Chain A
């Protein structure tokens, strides 16, 4: 899968030439603050919104020329985990399986597999409207897996899950990644480290970092930095003294909760 995409919303550049390439067996993590353009990029890849310029190719199909084939290859978990409230969990999954072209025994088998994968058995006959946020999220994840797609695009897949489930879903993603291409977005650095083979840092629509999690960590300015809490009235002379230390690259001062205290972040010179 490869892409190079831009998106304008009424002259607001939400995604600015985001380019990348991912192979089978890889998990690419989109990391970035709110509003960075992660979801927008995913919406273009799933052919929900067209790019303003650029294109992407997924399993050899272009998102512009062959959107239906592209969608066939993708399992998509949208950000807000939308699903039809008035349906039962099992019924909703059957509906998605039917749209994906399955029927009869095969349909039942597929629903059963994803229900087990995402631990939904206990709520299978519950109405989606009455599910807790975590179960709702898992229902939506199950929906994305039903056709065993070669490409998975998951927008914040662990959002709203409890720590146990977060761990389960990460393990699930890792296990599935062997014969698949997976794209996830997240705000959690630790998640990138746990599941991604590569990560892309996006900020204000632009790619500002790309590489394996280890590479990105080593590029970080704050790698091996130390924060010290100090009781002192006046921070300016302190800062001057700190800056004179030769292992210090820079010092940042963060005011403490009460006056007379403060935190100092030391960024080391290599």
Chain B
């Protein structure tokens, strides 16, 4: 893991030095508030819980996380710094993980800045602590999976727009596989185990399970495996680029 920390630190600092980071955080918070209060009718639900807040995260992340991840490698290749970064005596896997973790921590900070929501529900009533904690955990893990996909697609092309569109689409598929409507459609044609099987591959299924307040190791393993697999793929993509 030689070189992990300096690369991680540089990358994370770089976020806070660009206006894009602040724009992202503001949009992230505004979109969260917008979804919870207007789309989700938070006040009408008469519940002191963050269920509605977490409900929208898979859809919000669909656009927000690829926006953070799209520049991870494409920017490095476009500006030529890849040639510098990849000729340091650091393993490519270490570099890929360091850059990923920096972006993930950045998203984690944005997520933590939603704490006024938590204060609001404690002010309104006495919510159940469990689902709030697991909700944040699940949301953060899911964000990591979206980000790993975006990181991988950003290695595929120098063009950030293409990288964004690609990762949005892959993430969309992974969200929709567990979408109730799809499950119902499948059930009307195939036996139930088919839709169960398909939904096991979806973000939605595992995220729903965690945010209900139950931490099942299998759900955590699911997100961690998506992250690891996508980052390994990321390494392979970078290596094959160098070879061609």
Contact = CB atoms under 8 A, between A and B. Distances in A.
Contacts of B84: 76, 78, 82-83, 140, 143
Interface residues of B, number: 24
B81 interface: yes
Interface in A55-111: 68-69, 71-72, 74, 76, 78, 80, 82-87, 95-96, 98-101
Nearest to B83: A78
B79 A85 contact: yes
Nearest to A82: B80
A82 B7 contact: no
Contact of A78 (B80, B89, B91): B80
B218 interface: no
B244 interface: yes
A46 interface: yes
B81 A48 contact: no
B3 interface: yes
B7 A99 contact: yes
A50 interface: yes
Interface of A: 9-10, 43, 46-50, 68-69, 71-72, 74, 76, 78, 80, 82-87, 95-96, 98-101, 140, 143
B89 A100 contact: yes
A57 B81 CA distance: 25
B146 to A, nearest CB: 25
A48 B6 contact: no
A126 to B, nearest CB: 14
Given A48-B83, A49-B242, A82-B79, A95 B18 contact: no
A118 to B, nearest CB: 16
B91 A95 contact: no
A69 B80 CA distance: 23
A86 B242 contact: no
B116 to A, nearest CB: 30
Nearest to A155: B83
B91 A68 contact: yes
B46 interface: no
B126 interface: no
A250 B241 CA distance: 48
Nearest to B86: A48
B88 A98 contact: no
B10 A95 contact: yes
Nearest to B80: A82
Contacts of B3: 99
Contacts of A69: 89
A11 B86 CA distance: 25
Contacts of B82: 82
B243 interface: yes
Given A49-B242, A98-B6, A101-B2, A86 B18 contact: yes
A72 B89 contact: yes
Given A82-B79, A82-B84, A99 B14 contact: no
Interface string B83-98: 1101111110000000
Most B C-beta atoms less than 10 A away, residue of A43, A82, A87: A82
Nearest to A69: B89
Contacts of B243: 49-50
